[in-house]
Amino acid sequence: MYIVIIGCGRLGSGLAMELSNDGHDVVIVDKDGKNLERLRSGFNGTRIKGVEIDNDILMEAGIDKADIFLAMTQADNINIMASQIAKNIFKVPRVIARIFDPSREFIYRKLGLQTISPTEVSINIIKNKIINKDSNTLFELNNDVSIEEITINKLKFNNILEIEENFNCRICAVSKNGEFIIPNKDQLLEKGDKIICSINKQNKEKLVKMIMKEKFL
């Protein structure tokens, strides 16, 4: 895919490196040349120094042929404006904008922009690590459903299908000895395995008690 990124901070530069290493054509734009230096010599994409909302700069970056546009600067106004340009003028198929200040999320939503808020995600992860010590909440999809990493300490169930049927959840990955695999429904589980699943709050509490805690309460 052809991907244009604006903003070469820690988030933007990290995405640029990862996506480039995965074989995508990546162009990254930042008005500060020092930010572009974050990208190591192994970066196979293109760096452009220039104002991120300047049409000529965006055309130089190839926004007119982009499959994905990522607005990752630390300025919400720039991210909003650039995303609007990408979405409404150049008709980029997928536009994702970073929310720098979570209190401004309503603006992005009102404009119909797909967003990610690293600050909010980090807050939720840290909060859940403190509150939910028996599992690791990787991401909250809404107030009730989350993606969890749960360690199996007790073999109450032998395979993936039994857990999914009993707790109305979906297991997308299993970690065995530190290596993740995509399991089938008959995948056998062992003590020490970790499951990654999407599950609601009520069933999560039941599942944690059943396979993780030492005693079933």
CATH of the domain at 204: 3.30.70.1450
Mean pLDDT of 207-214: 75
pLDDT at 207 over 70: yes
13-27, 28-42, 203-217: which has the minimum mean pLDDT? 203-217
Residue 214 has a pLDDT of 46
Domain boundary among the residues 88, 116, 144 is at 116
Burial class (CB in 10 A: 0-12, 13-18, 19+), 71: buried
Nearest-10 Cα torsion for 109, 7, 48, 36: -170
Residue 216 has a pLDDT of 36
pTM equals: 0.66
**Residues 93 and 150 placed together within one structural domain of the fold:** no
pLDDT (tens digit per residue) in 69-79: 999 999 999 99
CA 123 from chain centre, in angstroms, equals 14
CA atoms within a 13 Å half-sphere pointing along the CA-CB vector of 133: 2
Residue 129 has a pLDDT of 65
pLDDT at 46 over 90: yes
Domain boundary among the residues 68, 89, 116 is at 116
85-89, 130-134, 198-202: which has the minimum mean pLDDT? 130-134
pLDDT (tens digit per residue) in 125-136: 676 666 655 557
Question: How does the average pLDDT of the chain come out, rounded?
Answer: 87
Domain boundary among the residues 97, 116, 135 is at 116
